[in-house]
Amino acid sequence: MKTILSNYTPYFKQIAKLSYPIIIGQIGIVLMGVADVVMIGRVDATNLAAAGLANSIFFLVTILGIGTLMAISALVAQAKGADNQNECAVLFRQGIFAALALSAFIFSVLTLFAFNFSLFKQNEEVTKLASQFLHLLNAGTLPLLIFVAAKQFSDGLSITKPSAIITIGALLLNILLNWLLIYGNMGFPKMGLNGAGIATLISRIMMAICMLVFVLMHKKYKPFILIKEKINQLDTFKEIFRIGLPSGFQYFFEISAFSTAGIMIGWIGKNEQAAHHIALNVASVTYMIATGISAAGSIMVGDALGRKNKIGIIRSGKSALIAGALFMGTCAILLSVFGKIIIGFYIDDSDVALFASYLLIVAAFFQLSDGIQCVSLGILRGIEDTKIPTFITVVAYWVIGIPIGYLLSFYFHLSLYGIWIGLLIGLTFSAVMLSRRFLSLSKRIDVFKETYLGNRYE
């Protein structure tokens, strides 16, 4: 036992070192949404429901781009591990181009949704407010994805602190602008929900500019951003999408499941929908911490793959899984004990608060499954395994989670709780299948097979 602990201790330390700045940055991004929801919730439940719905649809589509760009960190880590600085430089440039291409597609889709919001069959007042808010969120798509691309490049080099600092600065700016523009303080116009949208847009533009300037100007990045040898950059661009697009769909299928759950709960009532968004908002904070551990695991596994270190791949992946499980298990206990206190920060409406408090009990149960499946996706991405995990996520959410949730809600009359129980079952299936896949593949991986431009499991 002592030998096992000594073997894994360096990996736990490395995960902590890499993940804590990523976690801070991830939480900062989510807390922008939390700040919007909390500050809008002080207006009324209708604005709260509209903010939650628009944010859900925005991330439903945008997560495809964010997830795709997450491949950059794993590919950069592999190139760095193999001491290929030129490949890192090409990945940086093509990562920005990928962000531009993804932004154009996502902006078009979200614009279509914003102009046809009635398709979601929500409350008429909620529909009007949410449509306007979605337009403003959509305006920030390009700067958000530019920031993500530059951040993933930096993370892949194991330089994780700058993006965290920039994100926290943007969060503070967003809260200040919310206070000025939502409520009309200090002579600013009282804009309500639209004020929150403008605040978010300004904050995301600031994030993109600061991250790009830092990467391009700081001396620690210079060896990794100057292309020294001419290679076919189109191949690298395609590789980002070949590895990244399945990853994007993994996140898309999960987020879309929760967004669909929100829409179905909207059929039940706006108070139930507001409660759903509060509980989901709380759960998303802990989930972002799990994604930080997942990103650290992906970087460490990718770096070990680049160094052709099979033991490093196995121990990095297992350490990330253990760290994710321990953290999310702790979060489950905290949500169970302090759920009602947390909800009190969001809203004063007693009906909404009651619904949300029961939902947090369900959320506490799926914390462990959510953490394990999230980390598993990251470490599988580190060894370039993305296609089968994508299939697993489709089955988990759309063959198991959503259908069972629908049946429990509308046929067994469990209302919004039935939908969340269905999601819990789907998450548990995903966690078991994905973690088993990594443990199996990592034992038989051929580290001497070509690392770049070729998926090992096709």
Q: What is the dihedral of CA 230, 231, 233, 239, to 10 degrees?
A: -150
pLDDT tens per residue, range 232-285: 788 889 989 988 898 888 888 887 888 788 878 888 887 887 888 788 878 877
Gap between the Cα atoms of 40 and 48, Å rounded: 6
What single letter denotes the amino acid at residue 174? N
pLDDT the model gives residue 451: 46
Please write the tens of the pLDDT for every residue from 322-380. 999 998 888 888 888 887 888 887 777 777 888 888 888 888 887 889 899 999 999 99
Tokens, residue 173: 């700016």
> Residue 334 has which token pair?
């905290």
Q: How much is the pLDDT for 4?
A: 58
Cα separation values, 319 from 16, 52, 395, Å: 10, 35, 27
- Tokens read off for 55: 């944010």
Domain range annotation of the chain = 2-444
**The total number of residues written for the chain in this structure:** 458
pTM for the model stands at 0.79
Q: Tell me the average pLDDT across 162-176.
A: 92
Enumerate long-range contacts of 110-113, CB under 8 Å, 24 or more apart.
Answer: 110/57, 110/58, 110/61, 110/62, 110/134, 110/137, 110/138, 110/141, 111/135, 111/138, 113/57, 113/61
Place of tokens 């009007």: 128
26-40, 207-221, 421-435: lowest mean pLDDT where? 26-40
Is the pLDDT at 34 greater than 80, yes or no? Answer: no
Q: What is the 3-state secondary structure (H, E, C) of the chain?
A: CHHHHHHHHHHHHHHHHHHHHHHHHHHHHHHHHHHHHHHHHCCCHHHHHHHHHHHHHHHHHHHHHHHHHCHHHHHHHHHHHCCCHHHHHHHHHHHHHHHHHHHHHHHHHHHHHHHCHHHHCCCHHHHHHHHHHHHHHHHCHHHHHHHHHHHHHHHHCCCCHHHHHHHHHHHHHHHHHHHHHHHCHHHCCCCCHHHHHHHHHHHHHHHHHHHHHHHHHCHHHHHHHCCCCCCCHHHHHHHHHHHHHHHHHHHHHHHHHHHHHHHHHHHHCHHHHHHHHHHHHHHHHHHHHHHHHHHHHHHHHHHHHHCCCHHHHHHHHHHHHHHHHHHHHHHHHHHHHHHHHHHHCCCCCHHHHHHHHHHHHHHHHHHHHHHHHHHHHHHHHHCCCCHHHHHHHHHHHHHHHHHHHHHHHHHCCCHHHHHHHHHHHHHHHHHHHHHHHHHHHHHHCCCCCCCCCCCCCC
With a cut of 50, say whether residue 103 has pLDDT above it.
Answer: yes
Question: Residue 434: which residues within 8 A CB-CB, separation 6 or more?
Answer: 372, 373, 376, 377, 380, 389, 392
Specify whether the backbone of 112 is left (phi greater than 0), alpha (psi in -120 to 50) or beta.
Answer: alpha
CA–CA dist 8, 350 (Å, integer): 48
For residue range 330-344, list pLDDT tens digits in order. 888 888 888 788 888
Residue 387 has pLDDT above 50, yes or no: yes
Among 172-176, 261-265, 448-452, where is mean pLDDT lowest? 448-452
Burial of 217 (0-12, 13-18, 19+ CB in 10 A): exposed
Sole residue written with tokens 């395994």: 385
Q: How confident is the model at residue 5 (pLDDT cuts 50, 70, 90)?
A: low
Q: Which amino acid is at 170?
A: A
Report, in angstroms and rounded to the nearest whole number, the Rg of the chain calculated over CA atoms.
21
Contact (Cβ atoms closer than 8 angstroms) between residue 235 and residue 453 = yes
Region 161-177 average pLDDT: 92
Joined together, the tokens standing for residue 41 give 């919730």
